[in-house]
Amino acid sequence: MSLLIKNGTVVNPAKQQHEVADVLVKDGKIAAIGQNLSADGAEVYDATGLIVAPGLIDIHTHLREPGQEAKEDFHSGTQAAAAGGFTRVVTMANTTPVVDNAALVRGLKKQAELTGVVKVEFIGAVSKNLEGKELAELGDMAEAGVVAFSDDGHYVENAAFMRRALEYSSMFDKMVIDHAEDITLTKNGHMHEGFVSYELGVIGRPAVAEDLAVARDILLSEMTGGHIHIAHVSSKNTVDMVRRAKAKGLNVTCEVTSQHLSFTDEYLRDYNPAFKMAPPIRSEDHRQALLEGLKDGTIDAIITDHAPHAFEEKDHEFCCAPNGFSGLETSLAGVITNAYGPDKLSIDQVVYHMSTRPAELMRLDAGVLEVGKPADITVFSDTETWTVDRNQFYTKGKVSPFDGMTVTGKAKLTVVDGEIVMKEGVVLR
């Protein structure tokens, strides 16, 4: 099969390329990039006025399989990814059972290959059953193909245990992804602790809970040389600490969600559980700090933290609803609407943080448009406006804080190994 994407603006940060050009795909690989390309018998897609980018990569998602397939499975989750313009997702280990051994990793990789619409990578647990007491099979899981380790959803409370995890994971050149919240300060909290939470009478989760955890684990990274990656940063102090750590040359990276770039705690005034997440969306000063952290490169990646729940789980009083929502189909629009434009991110920075840099972090053969490389490509509009309708989602999790909002930015074509898996909003597999 051949595909010719014509007349799009190729945004390819890894090659410092930003120009109108054509991209030719043959046999699953990129065959040529240039002007006025042609190919007999190729399917032609006119990308005039659109951005042609290396496939978007989400390095922090929850596909819920195994054990929680009522919320999501590999097929529905990767359909949602394709609809949102993602060609690859990296799924977390907090499933049922927990992904903490190599046998499970191998089985899940096979299942994802059979049923997934886009590529799926796996993260293994740091500790057995996420209990923070005994190291999981880090070496065996690394050999089985996991790209990182994380007890996401749980903070590793024991500092000595985290030290050993960083030391051991570094032997396999893998990062530890840190869900950094000191639970002694967040217990029973439901939103950002601040002016709004005080007005609403809701117990808060203070930003310092993240700050304390991040400070400890940056120091442990400095001590061990291990790669600590701070998940879903939300605090301005965290951004400052990571900035200083990078200036010292420490092995520290981090990520931010599109929702933390899009919303503040002011959106919680009507107690809508769709806005409930961990860490919580915070006040405007924190949101601005996150944006500045992206602009200056302190924050490495933009992620979705796609966390689908059954509708009946989220359809509760605010304080009783679980954290998280489905984000794969709205992440790009959230970024384009709220973090892109004058005095914000350029389109090159958007692509860098959503494709190029995530591929670098996970050491994936992706994140670049280059002849001979796998043809994982996302074509999207940075100007099209549309209204989010959760009932049109491919994910099983029909809850979103973006529901009903008019947003800008939409994926138009998703190509995986040269195959079109989504075209004009319709997933083809």
Binding-site entries for Zn(2+)? 60, 62, 152, 179, 232, 305
Q: At what angle do helices 159-170 and 207-224 cross, to 10 degrees?
A: 50
The whole-angstrom separation of Cα 244 and Cα 246 is: 5
Q: Extract the tokens encoding 156.
A: 């590793």
Residues whose CB is less than 8 angstroms from the CB of residue 379 and which lie 6 or more positions away in sequence, other chains included:
5, 8, 45, 47, 50, 51, 52, 53, 411, 412, 413, 414, 415
Compute the distance between CA of residue 6 and CA of residue 388 in angstroms, rounded to an integer: 28
**101: which residues sit within 8 A by CB, 6+ positions away?**
136, 137, 140, 141
CA distance 126 to 218: 17
Instruction: Render the burial of 296-305: b for 16+ CB within 10 Å, e for the rest.
Output: eebbbbbbbb
* CB distance 96 to 68 below 8 Å: yes
Ranges of beta strands (E only) in 358-428 are 377-387, 406-416, 419-423, 426-427
DSSP for residue 324:
-
User: Measuring CA to CA, which residue among 158, 163, 99, 170 is closest to residue 132?
Assistant: 158
393: helix, coil or strand? coil
Bridge partner list, 253: 229
Q: Do β-strands 377-387 and 406-416 pair in parallel, antiparallel, or remain unpaired?
A: antiparallel
Residues 398/46, Cβ–Cβ less than 8 Å: no
> Residue ranges for the binding site?
60, 62-64, 94, 152, 179, 232, 305, 309
Residues in the chain: 429
Q: What angle do CA 147, 393, 89 make, to 5 degrees?
A: 10
Identify each DSSP E strand in 62-192 by its residue range. Answer: 86-91, 119-124, 148-150, 175-178, 191-192
Backbone phi and psi for residue 262, each to the nearest 5 degrees, phi listed first: -100, -35
Which parts are annotated binding residues for substrate? 62-64, 94, 309
Q: Is 270 a catalytic residue?
A: no
Q: Are 241 and 211 in contact (CB under 8 A)?
A: yes
Q: What does the block give as tokens for 152? A: 């996401």
Catalytic: which of 217, 265, 305, 376? Answer: 305
Residues identified as active-site: 305
